[in-house]
Amino acid sequence: MTVARLKTLDPTDRRSEKARLNQLIDIISSDISTEANRRKYPAFVSGITTPITSSLHNTIFDQDHTLQSSNALFDISFGVYAKTQITNNTSTITGSAVVTELNGTIDSAGKYNFSNTTSNMMREKINVYRQYAQSLLGDSGSVFRSSHTETDASTDNTTKIQEALFINVKRLFKRDNIAKGTFGMKFYNRTGDRNELTNDDAHALSGTLFTSPQTTGFKGRSKLISTSAEDPVFNQVTILDTNASTSYSVNPVSGEVSTLKMYLGSALPVNVGLIFYDMGVIVLDVNKIFDLNDAVQGVINFPDEIASTKIFALKGGEQSVNLPAGQKAIGHTTDTGANLKKFLQLATVDDIIKHFCEARFTDTSNTAITFQNETIINSTIFFCNAAASDFNYSTNPTYIDANGKIVIVKNITDQPFSYITTVGLYNNAGDLLAVAKLSRPIEKNPNNQLTIRVRLDY
Amino acid sequence: MGFLDHTTNNVIIDAVLTERGRELLARNDGSFRIDSFAFGDDEIDYSNIVKYGLNIGKEKIEKNTPIFEAQTNENLALKYNNITLSNSNLRILYVPTLQKIAPAIPTISLTLNTSNTSVVFQTIEVISTLPKESGQTLIDSNLADLSFEVKMNSLILSVYNSGLADTSRVIDEDENFVKTYRIDGTPSYSSLAAPNDFSLSNRYKLSFDVGLISNLNTTGFEQFGTLTSTTVNNVTVLNGTINTYIEIVGLSSGARLLIPVEITLN
């Protein structure tokens, strides 16, 4: 059946092409540091008298996560590397100092056991690391290394990422992948100075672990620069995937991967992690972006800890605080050796994430994480060709008068014309599958032929 | 800095899938395959040509007609088609229009009788024709409407076939529950009653029965129309009215006809 309103597309009237669409994503610092924006998933329970719960990861939202209009930005978790080494039929735990210093044991089934007074969630932290290693490196026993050019076979112990902070950018913002060479991140690489904390219970409880670096006088200190410069801006580090657009690896397990470099002032950049562009995962070496020997102070959740009174050294002298059961003080006056490593052993994953979010990012609208995502768009372009004799009349009700006579011509010799504002694409059953609009009406008459190119994206 | 070349006929525009397109794409059975295209001019008011003359009228249309964004409802996205004649040398002064020839009254009236559940339906006859004064004896073969599409709110109305709700000729039901039926026409070359009392080749007639859906009740009147109750001598009487439309589209010519339907509750 010949139909006046439809014209068949020939095979040569269509062409497929692929394009990439980039979007700039800015995550502001306060989104990360605000506690209400962090969604927890309490999957871990430990303790008998005063049990505690913790998540294995948190999700950071762009506003209070309980609001329906909030969008999940990224997931964040912490893991440590450990593996069983068998020497002369004796199994020992090797890997991160965070684990090995605990002198854990291995039972006959291969399960690690750690003291429940000196550590917390260690098996879970190891499992988090193993899960990421399995997904991104292809082997749960592999170790991440802070250069994409190195493999698991490397013998360089300095490049091992044994305490890792994992950031998974959500699909909504990652889209198909993160664009190479566009990632940047800014945060404080050391905790503030406890001698700047005023004497009150709140500062004593938060300590250097959970106090915002923007707190007056609470200045983050430099790690890369040996001087104890106390300019809070100066002590912000920047992490970039420098040169990643030209220097990257393609891993068959996880796609494109490149190295993250940390910059501070005029110091030479340091390799501090990996970015997996296709997977949307950032792996940061906690021992390099922070300092495991950094002295810390504060109160964390700890199972079966009895109520106590502890004294903290603060700006104006000593401050005594009462701790309820289930909370443990570290870095108080009789715990002078407390450092970040000890915190990573004792703290739950929730507390570690809380520390990273609240003590390393300010409650400001400055950009903390930025990158461009990529959406790969497959398009078909249809060449809708109207020959000179095509589509010169219309069924528009204003085209005819009450008697059905065309109003735009007076005589049979007059040249008919119509206007085109819309293009419809149909299947062979006559279903309207897609529609496109022109920005302005285009006249069609027997003296012109036109081709409208219509792009349909998938 | 130069000006864009407005004389070019090559433009690229982005298309959006209609709800029907997404539905067929999701079926993954090959039914989503773009095969043909059509042009439409929904926003154009050609009466500007009559009001202002050819040159200024065209300028008014081209410069003063903002174009709406695309609609994704397949029934609303492209209403008025540009059409092509079979003979490229042919010039015409008349294009086919759809005319309702039965029932003779302008508005179709249907009554829901709550005490009588039998289906009430009405036969509608429409022809795709040219006016007698066109002097033509033939509708261009491209414009001959061998089939028609009939659209109506399926929460109120249905096409009936031999007294039963017709499901075999339904080709689409959109998100607003507007059902589209595709119904073949029958040749109607011979003269009809005035004003169609002349012989015209390629004139086709559409005939179908339309009726209320079997489960239409007072809730339907509340939702789509008005429902009032009056109490006389302690007897409450419900009265209701729904005004709706049936749309008929000539499948070839793209000609459209809206038929008003008034449904009353008795």
Domain ranges of chain A: 11-19+377-457, 35-362
Work out the average pLDDT over A339-359: 96
Percent of chain B with pLDDT over 90: 62
ipTM score here? 0.88
Check pLDDT > 80 for residue A15.
yes
Give the C-alpha separation, A141 to A431, whole Å. Answer: 55
Q: Is the entire prediction scored with pTM above 0.90?
A: no
Give pLDDT tens digits for A358-396: 999 989 999 999 999 999 999 999 999 999 999 999 999
User: Are A387 and B117 spatial neighbours (Cβ–Cβ below 8 Å)?
Assistant: no
Residue A37 pLDDT > 60: yes
Q: What is the mean pLDDT of residues B173-192?
A: 90
Q: In sequence order, what are the residues at sequence separation of 6 or more whose Cβ sits closer than 8 angstroms to the Cβ of residue B38?
A: A5, A6, A7, A423, A424, A426, B78, B81, B82, B254
Predicted pLDDT of residue A402:
84
A352: pLDDT strictly greater than 90: yes
A113 touches chain B (CB under 8 A): no
Mean pLDDT, range A72-92, rounded to an integer: 95
Rounded mean pLDDT of chain A? 92
**Cβ–Cβ < 8 Å for A328, A351:** no
Contacts of B142 in chain A (CB under 8 A): 2-4
B245: pLDDT strictly greater than 50? yes
Is A221 a residue whose pLDDT tops 70?
no
DSSP-assigned letter for residue A175: B
- Name the band, by pLDDT with cuts 50, 70 and 90, for residue A219: low
- Provide the 3-class DSSP secondary structure of residue B44: coil
Interchain CB contact of A7 with B (< 8 Å): yes
Look at residue A1 and tell me whether its pLDDT is greater than 70.
no
Percentage of the residues of chain A whose pLDDT score is greater than 90: 80
3-state secondary structure of B263: strand
Q: CA distances (Å), A215 to each of A82, A186, A198, A353, B200, in order?
A: 36, 17, 10, 19, 90
Query: Residue B189 — pLDDT band, cuts 50, 70, 90?
Result: confident
As beta bridge partners, residue B263 has B110, B242
Of the partner residues B13, B21, B32, the one whose CB lies closest to the CB of residue A452: B13
Cβ contact, residue pair A404, B131, below 8 Å: yes
Q: pLDDT at residue A150 above 70?
A: yes
Instruction: Tell me which DSSP letter residue A249 carries.
Output: E
Nearest one of A296, A78, A67 to A167, comparing CA atoms = A78
Provide DSSP, A348-405: -HHHHHHHHHHHHS-SSSSEEEEEEEEEEEEEEEEEEEE-TTSS-EE--GGGB-TTSB
β-strand pairing of A317-323 with B178-184: unpaired
User: What is the SS3 assignment for A286?
Assistant: helix
Instruction: Tell me the CB-side half-sphere exposure of residue A344, using CA atoms within 13 A.
Output: 30
User: Residue A390: what pLDDT?
Assistant: 94
Residue of B nearest to A418 (CA): B82
A17 interfacial to chain B (CB closer than 8 Å): no
Nearest alpha carbon to residue A80 among A285, A259, A254, A275: A285
Name which residue leads in pLDDT, A45 or A291: A45
- Probe site for chain B from A381, A411, A431 (most B CB atoms < 10 A): A431
Residues A347 and A330 sit within 8 Å (Cβ to Cβ): no
Which residues of B are less than 8 Å from A407 in CB distance? 46-47, 49-50
Q: How far is CA B108 from CA A452, B86, B117, B246, B247, in A?
A: 42, 35, 20, 9, 12
| Token pair of A210 as six digits | 């959970």
- Are A373 and A173 spatial neighbours (Cβ–Cβ below 8 Å)? yes
Residue B238 — very low, low, confident or very high, per pLDDT cuts 50/70/90? confident
> pLDDT class for B7, splitting at 50, 70, 90?
very low
A19 shares contact with chain B (CB less than 8 Å): no
* Residue-wise pLDDT tens digits, B141-154: 889 999 999 999 99
Count H helices and E strands in chain B, helices first.
4, 16
Q: What's the DSSP call for residue A407? A: S
> Minimal Cα distance from B12: which residue of A?
A453
Q: How distant is the Cα of A445 from the closest Cα of chain B, in angstroms?
A: 11
Under the banding of pLDDT at 50, 70 and 90, the label for residue A220 is low
**Which range is least confidently modeled, A32-36, A262-266, A366-370, B19-23?**
A262-266
- A139 min Cα distance to partner chain B (Å): 36
Q: Give how far A36 is from chain B: nearest CA, Å.
A: 38
The reported pLDDT for the residue numbered A250 is 95
B117: closest CA among B209, B211, B208, B232?
A: B211
Give which of B82, B93, B90, B94 is closest to B40, Cα–Cα: B82
Report residue A72 as tokens: 């999940």
Residue B246: the pLDDT is 97
Residue type, A425: L
**Contact status of A412 with chain B (Cβ, < 8 Å):** yes
Q: How many CB atoms lie within 10 A of CB B22?
A: 16
Q: B3 pLDDT exceeds 50?
A: no
pLDDT reading at A345 higher than 70: yes
Under a CB-based contact definition with an 8 Å cutoff, are residues B35 and A428 in contact? yes
pLDDT, residue A439, reads 87
Substitution target from A381, A421, A428, A442 for chain B, most B beta carbons within 10 A:
A421
pLDDT band at B4 (very low <50, low <70, confident <90, very high): very low
**Averaged pLDDT for residues B107-132:** 87
A426 and B88 in contact by Cβ < 8 A?
Answer: no
Q: List all residues of chain A from 419 to 438 with a beta carbon under 8 Å from chain B.
A: 419-438
CA dihedral A160, A161, A162, A166 (to 10 degrees): -160
**Residue range A310-333: average pLDDT?**
94
Please name which of B73, B12, B21, B20 lies closest in space to residue A380, comparing C-alpha atoms: B12
Tell me the β-bridge partners of B78.
none
Beta strands of A29-123 (E only): which ranges? 38-40, 44-46, 52-54, 58-61, 72-80, 82-87, 90-95, 105-106, 112-113
